[in-house]
Amino acid sequence: MTRHVKVLILGSGPAGYTAAIYAARANLHPLVIAGDVPGGQLTTTTDVENWPGTVPAVLGGVLMEEFDRHARTFGAEVVQDVIVSVDFGRRPFVLTGEFGAVYRADTVILCTGATARSIGLPSEAAFRGRGVSGCATCDGFFYKDQECCVIGGGNTAVEEALFLSNIASRVHLVHRRDRFRAEPALLDRLHARVAEGRVALHLSREMDEVLGDDRGVTAVRLRRADGPPETLPVSGVFVAIGHDPNTALFVPALAHRDGYLQTGLADPAYPMMTNVPGVFAAGDVQDSLYRQAVTSAGSGCMAALDARRFLELTAAAVAAE
């Protein structure tokens, strides 16, 4: 099967669906490739409390069903496929799905998201969404006045610990080495919270088990080189050991920094365009900093508007030749 579309969108998270809504309303008949996680990361969580306009909280899966319905209402087409190869050296661009479908596209919007790294413990996976989280901004409020721990020693872990220290009764920051890699300004703020008793540091320790029951997490077990294991009673565990953007298919063909696609460098007139004219990126795949549903949706909108303008100007240039 071969299809030719004006706008091909990879990914069905907040960025992909928002791009689809804008492209569909511009009469560009976008095609969304849903990928292996239809609905994206939010389908892996329960309550989303910071999506504007939804009080009380909306379930992540329900919110993404609404995104899907919204995009289809305006004529976007969504197909269940995973792109396994891309050729951005030809025009139209050529992308191939996992069962051999070939998609030719005048523009492509990459919204393939990022994946939070996990430590890889079976108990971590078993309690994910029931006490184990990868996002304090998203889930921290559920642990108001309770004890939590954060795993990691980089900027994200320290930021998560600082954020949680305003919500939780106490935050335990667990790091496998004896020093943090987070930047000094963040560490100054961290040590101030330690002095106030809001944060406790547990260095040279690795979490080797998440403990809990039917109601969720009750503690973590920490392994250390210089003594017997420790048990830390907590109700929330925030794993903050980094994210991997889903860009293996696109690098090195597309410019990136630490794997995140870079946009707006080749042509400042198109803030969401990669270094290949006509290929745009939005959401967590190009944003290592904010990684929120609302920011992803916002950049999906921007990418679709950029793509529309790109198509208009390209068509005008061809007509003028």
Residue of 139, 284, 287, 306 with catalytic role: 139
Q: Whole-angstrom Cα distance, residue 50 to residue 59? A: 11
Residues 6+ apart with CB under 8 A from 220: 149, 174, 207, 209, 210, 211, 231, 232, 234, 237
The answer to whether 227 and 221 have CB atoms below 8 angstroms apart is no
236-265 residues in contact with ligand FAD (CB under 6 A) are 246, 249
- Is residue 42 part of the contact set for ligand FAD (CB under 6 A)? yes
Shortest distance, CB of residue 250 to ligand FAD, whole angstroms?
A: 9
> Is 36 noted as a catalytic residue in this protein?
no
The residue among 91 and 177 lying less far from ligand NAP, judged by its C-beta, is: 177
The residue among 92 and 242 lying less far from ligand NAP, judged by its C-beta, is: 242
> Is 267 noted as a catalytic residue in this protein?
no
Query: Which residues sit at the interface with ligand NAP, rule CB under 6 A?
Result: 119, 151-157, 159, 176-177, 181, 206, 241-242, 288
Q: Whole-angstrom Cα distance, residue 68 to residue 12? A: 8
The answer to whether 26 and 11 have CB atoms below 8 angstroms apart is no
Q: Which does 48 bind (CB under 5 to 8 A by kind): ligand FAD, ligand NAP, none?
A: ligand FAD
Residue of 68, 81, 135, 148 with catalytic role: 135
- Is residue 11 part of the contact set for ligand FAD (CB under 6 A)? yes
Shortest distance, CB of residue 9 to ligand NAP, whole angstroms?
A: 26
Residue of 81, 106, 111, 138 with catalytic role: 138
Q: Whole-angstrom Cα distance, residue 152 to residue 160? A: 10
Where do runs of H (alpha helix) occur along the chain?
Answer: 14-25, 60-73, 122-126, 136-139, 155-164, 184-195, 293-320
Chain-centroid distance of CA 213 in Å reads 29
The residue among 121 and 253 lying less far from ligand NAP, judged by its C-beta, is: 121
Q: Which residue is nearest to ligand NAP (CB)?
A: 154
Identify the bridge partners of residue 222 per DSSP, sorted by sequence position.
207, 230
Per the listing, tokens 């406790």 go with 200
> Is 138 noted as a catalytic residue in this protein?
yes
Tell me which residues touch ligand FAD (CB under 6 A): 10-16, 33-38, 40-42, 44-45, 48, 50, 82-83, 111-113, 116, 133-135, 138, 246, 249, 283-285, 291-294, 296
Return the active site residues.
135, 138-139
